[in-house]
């Protein structure tokens, strides 16, 4: 495999690649309040990059600074190699799609899509052709003559997308693009968004507070907390190798055990916790001092639950009593109380049907929990 191919779909790993968006030391203050706190970020051409975080963490503020609607208090933003200081929104090579789609209610779908091109004085024939192409791409050709109120939420969302893309921006900034859609439509539209982005090769920067959406859509996710990035990585990296307790708890859920390092080598660590009494064997090193306080994080679906004790497992096992069972059909969630009273959450696929209405593991059962050395991560903060 040539070097180029190797980095094709992961340009952030390519030391030679120039970022399309380069944010350096950007801070935004509103009075004495710091909404975005000295962040650095590189986004590459063709990425579908999600900024994910709870309400008020600063993601919209950062997006607005990329679009040019707000200026950084300090720091710099380069887009496509050019310094964006003093460049107004309409002269930036990016377009922004707002949380509320803000379609013109009195215009038809095609008039809405054509609006920006018309305002820019694009030739009439070219407008017709570009609008037609774009409506075909978002599968709305048959609705060209309808007004926004005659469309479903998902269709309106696609009109807004067509309107933003018809101007052929090099990057599209999307603030909660699927926020107005119900769960089913949202799932379907996520895939449409990915297809369109893939076909056009436009860089998408998406702001969302929905972790599932970020996991499905993104090439990479930046998890934001209080104006800073807690971690930037691929969905797999963020989920499987969270770097902090905040990230581990923000994406999915994680059982957290506090303990101290008793053994640390290049390929494994041993952590001992006293409450609950347990030895954790983890198959990656952390290179911090023995005796240091750490947290061992184990995802609920990585824990096995059984009524009989697992054979020859010295480490990575706990026992407790099932306090709650959440039956979801395809999976069940068990909340197991272990020795010190801590509740450990376990999720299991339901591979066989319950016999005579009785589940294999039920309320008040005493159960054994165990997991593989590769299933846990050690966190230092
Ligand atoms: P949400 O998901 O709720 O939209 P967000 O992460 O997008 O949240 P921002 O809109 O970026 O959050 O706001 C970050 C913080 O900055 C918030 O505490 C907000 O109150 C504050 N803020 C945003 N705009 C202003 C402003 N113009 N003046 C003062 N404070 C502001």
Residue 76's contacts (CB-CB under 8 Å, 6 or more residues apart) are 22, 23, 24, 25, 26, 83, 84, 85
Q: For ligand 1, atom 18, which residue shows the shortest CA distance? A: 56
For 58, the 3-state DSSP assignment is coil
3-state helix, strand, coil in the chain (%, to 5): 30, 35, 40
Residue closest by Cα to atom 23 of ligand 1: 61
Q: For ligand 1, atom 10, name the residue with the nearest CA.
A: 60
Distance separating alpha carbons of residues 205 and 363, to the nearest angstrom: 45
257-352+360-379 domain in CATH 2.40.50.140?
yes
Q: What is the model's pLDDT at position 264? A: 85
- 207 Cα to the center of ligand 1, angstroms: 13
CA–CA separation, 152 and 194 (whole Å): 20
* DSSP designation for 286: -
For ligand 1, atom 7: residue with the closest CA: 60
In ligand 1, which atom is closest to the CA atom of 209?
A: 2
Q: What residues flank ligand 1, with Cβ below 6 Å? A: 30, 33, 35, 53, 55-61, 209
pLDDT score at 1: 44
Geometric angle at alpha carbon 281, from 279 and 285, rounded to 5°:
130
pLDDT tens-digit profile, the chain (381 residues): 445 566 777 888 888 889 999 999 999 999 999 999 999 999 999 899 999 998 899 999 999 999 999 999 999 999 999 999 999 998 999 988 876 667 899 999 999 999 999 998 999 999 999 999 889 888 889 999 999 999 988 788 889 888 988 888 889 999 888 776 777 777 777 887 888 888 888 899 999 988 888 998 899 999 999 999 999 999 999 999 999 999 998 888 899 999 999 988 888 899 998 877 888 999 887 777 878 889 999 999 999 998 888 776 678 989 999 999 998 888 899 999 998 789 999 998 888 777 776 777 888 899 999 999 999 999 988
Q: Which ligand 1 atom is at minimum distance from the Cα of 64?
A: 11
Atom 28, ligand 1: residue with shortest CA distance: 30
Dihedrals phi, psi of 17, to nearest 5 degrees? -70, 140
Q: Are 204 and 49 in contact (CB under 8 A)?
A: yes
- Please calculate the CA angle 332-333-338 and round it to the nearest 5 degrees: 135
**What string of DSSP letters covers 153-214?**
HHHHHHHHHHHHHTT--SEEEEESTTTTS-HHHHHHHHHHHHHHHHHH--EEEEEES-HHHH
Bridge partners of 317, per DSSP, are 370
The rounded Å distance from CA 105 to ligand 1 centre is 28
The structural domains of the chain, with segments of one domain joined by +, span 3-246, 257-352+360-379
Which CATH class for the 3-246 domain? Answer: alpha beta
Instruction: Look at residue 2 in the predicted model and tell me its pLDDT.
Output: 47
- Alpha helix ranges (H) inside 201-292: 211-217, 235-240, 245-250
The pTM of the full predicted model, rounded to 2 decimals, is 0.86
Give residue 179's Cα distance to chain centre: 14
pLDDT at 321: 94
Ligand 1: distance of its center to the CA of 247 in Å? 21
Ligand 1 centroid–CA 73 distance in Å is 15
pLDDT given at position 358: 72
| 3-class secondary-structure state, position 242 | coil
């Amino acid at each position: 495999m040539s070097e180029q191919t190797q980095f094709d779909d992961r340009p952030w790993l390519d030391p030679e690649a120039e970022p399309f968006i380069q944010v350096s030391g950007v801070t935004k203050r509103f009075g004495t309040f710091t909404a975005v706190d000295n962040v650095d970020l590189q986004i590459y051409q063709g990425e579908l990059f999600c900024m994910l975080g709870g309400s008020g963490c600063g993601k919209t503020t950062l997006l607005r600074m990329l679009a040019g609607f707000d200026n950084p208090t300090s720091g710099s933003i380069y887009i496509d190699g050019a310094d964006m200081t003093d460049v107004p929104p309409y002269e930036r090579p990016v377009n922004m799609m707002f949380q509320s789609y803000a379609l013109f209610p009195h215009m038809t779908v095609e008039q809405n899509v054509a609006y920006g091109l018309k305002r820019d004085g694009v030739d009439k024939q070219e407008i017709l052709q570009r609008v037609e192409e774009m409506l075909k791409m978002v599968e709305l050709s048959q609705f060209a003559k309808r007004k926004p109120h005659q469309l479903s939420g998902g269709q309106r969302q696609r009109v807004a997308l067509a309107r933003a893309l018809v101007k052929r921006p090099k990057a599209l900034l999307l603030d909660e693009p699927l926020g107005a859609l119900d769960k089913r439509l949202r799932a379907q539209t996520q895939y449409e968004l990915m297809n369109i982005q893939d076909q056009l090769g436009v860089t998408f920067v998406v702001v969302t507070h929905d972790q599932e959406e970020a996991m499905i859509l993104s090439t990479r996710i930046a998890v934001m907390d209080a104006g800073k990035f807690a971690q930037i990585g691929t969905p797999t990296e963020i989920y499987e190798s969270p770097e902090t307790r905040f990230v581990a708890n923000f994406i999915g859920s994680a059982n957290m055990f506090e303990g101290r390092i008793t053994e640390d080598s290049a390929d494994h660590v041993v952590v001992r916790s006293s409450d609950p009494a347990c030895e954790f064997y983890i198959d990656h090193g952390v290179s911090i001092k023995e005796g240091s306080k750490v947290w061992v994080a184990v995802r609920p679906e990585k824990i096995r639950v059984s009524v009989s004790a697992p054979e020859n497992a010295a480490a990575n096992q706990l026992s407790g009593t099932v306090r709650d069972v959440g039956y979801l059909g395809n999976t069940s969630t068990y909340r197991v109380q272990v020795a010190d009273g801590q509740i450990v959450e376990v999720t299991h696929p339901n591979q066989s049907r319950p016999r005579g209405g009785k589940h294999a593991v039920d309320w008040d059962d005493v159960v054994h929990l165990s997991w593989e050395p590769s299933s846990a991560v050690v966190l230092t903060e």
